[in-house]
Amino acid sequence: MHKRKLGTGGLEVSALGLGCMRMSFGDRPVDKQEMIAFLHKAVERGVTFFDTAEVYGPFTNEELVGEALEPFRGQVTIATKFGFKHAPDKGPHPSIGVDSRPEQIRRVAEASLRRLRVEAIDLFYQHRPDPNVPIEDVAGAVKDLIQAGKVKRFGLSEASADNIRRAHAVQPVTALQSEYSIWWRAIEPAILPTCEALGIGLVPYSPLGRGYLTGKIDVNTTFDSTDIRSRNPRFTPEAIKANQVVVALLERIAEQKGATPAQIALACLLAQKPWIVPIPGSRKLERLDENNGAVNIELTSGDLNEINSAMSQINVVGDRY
C-alpha cells in the first residue's frame, strides 16, 4: 500500500483509509468477531488509517475499532469525531442535534480514549459545524486537549472555507473530511483551494457514492429499512436509472485500464492531489482488495480531462441527503 501525508504536520497514512461506520452501525448487524478479523486483515494488507466516531452506534463502533486495533497500537492511525448530542441507548436522532461546546468536546475525548484503548486520539474531527458555538472556541478546546496530550491532531468535517480558515488560525487543522466523489464535487470551487493554501489534507467519505459508483446497484436493487440508502434521494428507482450514465462512464474507462468502476472512481480522487486520502467503507475482504487496487491505477491528464468533460454534461439526479 502506498503512503500519503495529511497536512503539513507529517501525518503519514495509507493512501486509502477504511471507513468503519457500517461495521456496527446502520443496516443489518454484522458479527463482531468477524469484523475484528476483517480489521486485522486490513492492517495486514497495509491499511493504516481507520475512521470511526462516537455517534456511530452510538459508542459501539469506537469500541469495536478500539478492541480490533489494540494489538497494532503505534502502527495505525485512528480518527474519531465529536459534535453530536444523543440520548443514551436511543442512537443518533436528527432532533437531538449538534453539540460542540468545549465541555462536550472534553467529555467526548475522555470517553473516546477509553473506548479506543489509546493514550491519545490520533485525529479528532468536529463531526459537523455547530451554529451555536464559534469555531474559534471549538478549535481552542481541541488545542487544549492537544497540549494536555490527549489528542494529537485536529480535524474538521463538512466545514465551510471560512470556518476552515478561522479554525486553522487558532489550532492548525490537519485534515478536512467531506463527501467527495466524481458525482459530488461541490467542494472543488472554494474548499479544495483553501485546503491546498493552508496545507490541510482532504479525507473524502462516500468516495464510491454509497456504493452506487461500484456499478453493482441497479433498479432491481432493494434496500432494507435500516439502510440509509432506503431514504436517500439518489437511491430511488428513478434516480438509480437516470444516473446509470455515470456508471457507464466509469465502466468505459475501467475497460481501458483493466480495472473496475470502483477502482476508477477511487483513482480519480487519488489523482486530484497527493494529499487526498479517501476512506471507502467495506465489510468484505474482496471489496477491500478491489478498492485497494485503485492505488496502482495511473490516470493520465487525458483520462481525467475525459472524465471531467463527460461529467460536466451529466445531470446527476437526486440530492445527496
Phi-psi category of residue 69: left, alpha or beta, with phi > 0 → left and psi -120 to 50 → alpha: alpha
pLDDT digits (tens, 9 = 90+) for 262-305: 999 999 999 999 999 999 999 999 999 999 999 999 998 999 99
Q: Does 35 score more than 70 pLDDT?
A: yes
pTM here is: 0.93
**Predicted confidence band at 211 (pLDDT cuts at 50, 70, 90)?**
confident
Q: Does 1 score more than 50 pLDDT?
A: yes
Q: What is the mean pLDDT of the chain?
A: 92
Average pLDDT on 259-263 reads 96
Average pLDDT on 206-233 reads 84
User: Hey, where are the domains in the chain?
Assistant: 3-208+273-297
Three-class secondary structure of residue 189 per DSSP = coil
Measure CA 246 to chain center.
21
pLDDT at 170: 98
DSSP letter string, 23-72: GTSSSS---HHHHHHHHHHHHHTT--EEE--TTTTTTHHHHHHHHHHGGG
Average pLDDT on 199-218 reads 92
Average pLDDT on 147-167 reads 98
Catalytic site positions: 56
Closest to 282 measured CA to CA, from 211, 187, 197, 212: 211
Q: Does 318 score more than 80 pLDDT?
A: no
pLDDT at 186: 93
Do the Cβ atoms of 54 and 108 come closer than 8 Å? yes
pLDDT at 93: 45
Domain 3-208+273-297 adopts which CATH fold?
TIM Barrel (3.20.20)
pLDDT at 142: 98
Higher pLDDT, 7 or 141: 141
Higher pLDDT, 52 or 223: 52
Closest to 100 measured CA to CA, from 126, 124, 123: 126
Average pLDDT on 37-44 reads 98
Share of the chain above pLDDT 70, in %: 96
Q: Does 7 score more than 50 pLDDT?
A: yes
